[in-house]
Structure 1
Amino acid sequence: MTRPFRQQIDEGILDQAAALFARRGFAKTSVQDIAGAVGLSKAGLLHHFATKDALRAAVLAQAETLGRRVLDQVRDLPPGAARDRRAVEALIDVALAHPGMVALLLTPATQDGLGDPELEFATAAALQAFGVDPDTAEPERFVRVVGACAALAVLTLAAHRENQTTAWRQHVVATCFDALGHRGPGAAVSDPDQVEA
């Protein structure tokens, strides 16, 4: 099996595992559950990941890699509308490509006891992409960034469910950008002084 193909299969397994961990929790998700979700036998899955713990570690590592990828795209931009737009676009692209990871990252906010404390870095990375430090950020900015991230997660999961990932992308970007307090192009403006450059 060629390396890119193997990597693609492994990423698919990780995303399905993340989705199942989000839905059922790690303890209640069996190797057989994951194998069935990805269309492999249990032995076939164990060929890719030797144990369920190895699979969990790989899911956490993948989430961290995706977070670093987003940060790399915005790190050199100063705070402001351009950085916010780039952060939104980068996060949406990751979310559309990895819906299971998004579901897993939402778990701490939606289901008590199923979230993994080791995923806290992902929340920190999302905030950092927008240049927000939760300890020093103005409350309005903090709430807008958290709201934009929540909208991004929910809308990208809905886009997957509706099979509309391409069609909805621009609307999800606009919605999140608006949530951050920026007016996107073509937005209705009642006060001309509110238009952002």
Structure 2
Amino acid sequence: MARSFRQQADEEILDRAAGLFARHGFAHTSLKDLADAVGLSKAGLLHHYPSKEALFEAATAMGRAQCQQVLDQVMRTPAGQARDRRAVQLMTDFALDRPGLVALASRAINTLGTDVDASADDGLDGVDRLVFAVFDVDPDSGDTERLVRVVGTLSALAVLSLAANRAGDRTGWRPHIITTCLDALGHRGPDASASRSAQVEA
């Protein structure tokens, strides 16, 4: 149990730090700001992570690992509506639990499908590749509609999950976020409604 508590505490630290990096950028975020945000002294924070760089890398590594975990789970399902739904559900749960990482990942979302490599500067290189694989979209295929739908889904997910956290009503917002994201992907009708009903009951 002690290890589980420590892991949870570390994830909280990384999420809060990621939120600060997202708001101010790496260069403009000080160790004191980070320590204050996570509720530790500067020395206490450095005990967990030896430098600001180490903290940033740990936070972004956690984000990449979560993307890989989602990919591993959804790849068991053939590409299509069922896989999209499962991916949206998993990503929504992560986004609601880790708003700081979602805020940081939003920088990568803003460059999806472009030649801009801003994600590398944010330590999020590879996230776009993983996200495209989750939704089985090839940005070079010429399928502009699918690309736009996926980027729109991710943008909506980021904005809505952050708003849900600010509102303090993650449970109430969750089914509506999922339905909105599925709508953005073009999955309307009975399946989307069934998904919403199932989430409300859960």
Q: CA deviation at 1:63?
A: 1.1
Contact 2:31/2:42 (<8 A) preserved: yes
Q: Secondary structure at the match of 1:120?
A: coil
- Out of 143, 155, 158, which is 2:160 matched to? 155
For the residues of structure 2 that align with 1:153 and 1:182, how far apart are their CA atoms? 19
Q: CA deviation at 1:12?
A: 0.7
For the residues of structure 1 that align with 2:167 and 2:78, how far apart are their CA atoms? 36
Percentage of matched positions with identical amino acids: 55
Q: CA deviation at 1:184?
A: 4.3
Counterpart of 1:120 in structure 2 is: 125
Q: CA deviation at 1:5?
A: 1.2
For the residues of structure 2 that align with 1:134 and 1:114, how far apart are their CA atoms? 17
Contact 1:19/1:103 (<8 A) preserved: yes
User: What is the CA RMSD across the aligned residues, in angstroms?
Assistant: 2.2
Q: How does 1:1-197 map to 2 (within 5 A)?
A: 2-108=2-108, 109=110, 116-136=121-141, 138-185=143-190
Contact 1:81/1:182 (<8 A) preserved: yes
Contact 1:19/1:101 (<8 A) preserved: yes
For the residues of structure 1 that align with 2:132 and 2:10, how far apart are their CA atoms? 28
Contact 2:35/2:45 (<8 A) preserved: yes
Q: CA deviation at 1:113?
A: 10
For the residues of structure 2 that align with 1:137 and 1:150, how far apart are their CA atoms? 21
Residue ranges of structure 1 left out of the alignment (5+ in a row): 189-197
Contact 1:177/1:184 (<8 A) preserved: no
Aligned letter for 1:93?
D
Q: CA deviation at 1:6?
A: 1.1
With the length of structure 1 as denominator, give the TM-score of the two structures: 0.88
Contact 1:60/1:119 (<8 A) preserved: yes
Q: Which runs of 4+ in 1 moved over 2 A?
A: 107-110, 112-118, 184-188
Residue ranges of structure 2 left out of the alignment (5+ in a row): 194-202
Q: CA deviation at 1:124?
A: 2.1
Q: How many residues align?
A: 187
1:83/1:113 Cα in 2 relative to 1: closer, same or farther (>3 Å)? closer
With the length of structure 2 as denominator, give the TM-score of the two structures: 0.86
Aligned letter for 1:174?
T
Contact 1:15/1:100 (<8 A) preserved: yes
Higher Cα Rg, which structure: 1
1:52/1:168 Cα in 2 relative to 1: closer, same or farther (>3 Å)? same
Aligned letter for 1:18?
A
Q: CA deviation at 1:137?
A: 5.0
